């Protein structure tokens, strides 16, 4: 299974032309989702399969042979993952409000087409009942998905600020194995933030950042 992000003109017939181009190389489109519309351009995510004798390059060439069409990103995607809506994630968060933050972190790699996510606990954290371990002044990763980096206090501090939702690029060697990654940091409250990352990009779109910010602010606070 592949996930392909394509930008195309926001005019009638463009989506059909892209689908036809994909079909010309044997692609079987499983699902399509509009990610963003801006300035006469629409960005769509295609979930599809390719014949075993076809390389992703053939798909890219077929799409980019169309006027105004560009393949922004293509990557392998877990079989059976499917496209998961914000609403479905919100429903699970609502069903278990005590673990809503963990639910968002677990769902984020699928919902936001990313590679990893982690929940950071900031200094001064206490539990929902007003209790908690003695504050050691450190930032701790308290829940993470597979493939998330090991963030100690020094590394996590470089993701600041933690009071506003923002994106940044991890550059240099301060987080080995995750250089050239793009991340979004979204505060839940003054104690916790969720971090979502893509290894090697692409950069998160404004619409994706707004969605993550919205979901993070719907998590109950202590």
Instruction: Residue 112: name the closest of 163, 166, 184 by CA.
Output: 184
Q: What is the pTM of this model?
A: 0.69
Please, where in the chain does CATH 3.30.450.40 lie?
Answer: 86-217
The predicted pLDDT at position 35 comes to 85
Tell me what percent of the chain is helix, strand and coil, each rounded to the nearest 5.
Answer: 30, 30, 40
Give CA–CA dist 201/137, Å, rounded.
Answer: 32
Question: Which CATH number is 2-76 given?
Answer: 3.30.70.260
Q: Does domain 86-217 have CATH number 3.30.450.40?
A: yes
Please, where in the chain does CATH 3.30.70.260 lie?
Answer: 2-76
pLDDT in 10s for each residue of the chain, 222 residues:
888 999 999 999 999 999 999 999 999 998 888 889 989 999 998 989 999 999 999 999 999 999 999 999 887 765 544 455 777 898 899 999 999 999 999 999 988 889 999 999 999 755 444 433 457 889 999 999 999 999 999 999 999 999 999 999 998 788 888 888 899 999 999 999 999 999 887 889 888 899 899 899 999 886
Cα 97 from chain centre: 22
Both tokens of 42, joined, read 């629409």
């Amino acid at each position: 299974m592949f996930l392909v992000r394509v930008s195309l003109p926001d005019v009638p017939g463009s989506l059909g032309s892209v689908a036809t181009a994909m079909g010309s190389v044997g692609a079987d489109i499983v699902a399509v989702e509009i990610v963003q519309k801006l300035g006469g351009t629409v960005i769509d995510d295609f979930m599809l399969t390719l014949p075993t004798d076809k390389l992703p390059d053939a798909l890219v060439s077929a799409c980019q042979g169309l006027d105004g069409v560009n393949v922004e990103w293509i990557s392998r995607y877990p079989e059976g993952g499917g496209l998961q809506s914000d609403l479905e994630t919100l429903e699970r968060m609502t069903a278990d409000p005590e673990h809503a933050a963990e639910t968002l972190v677990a769902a984020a790699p699928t919902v936001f087409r990313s590679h990893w996510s982690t929940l950071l606990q900031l200094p001064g954290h206490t539990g929902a009942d007003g209790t908690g371990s003695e504050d050691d002044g450190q930032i701790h990763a308290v829940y993470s998905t597979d493939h998330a980096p090991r963030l100690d206090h020094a590394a996590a501090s470089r993701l600041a600020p933690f009071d506003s939702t923002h994106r940044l690029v991890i550059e240099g060697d301060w987080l080995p194995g995750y250089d050239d990654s793009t991340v979004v940091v979204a505060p839940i409250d003054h104690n916790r933030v969720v971090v979502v990352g893509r290894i090697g990009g692409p950069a998160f779109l404004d619409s994706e950042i707004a969605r993550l910010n919205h979901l993070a602010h719907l998590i109950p606070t202590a």
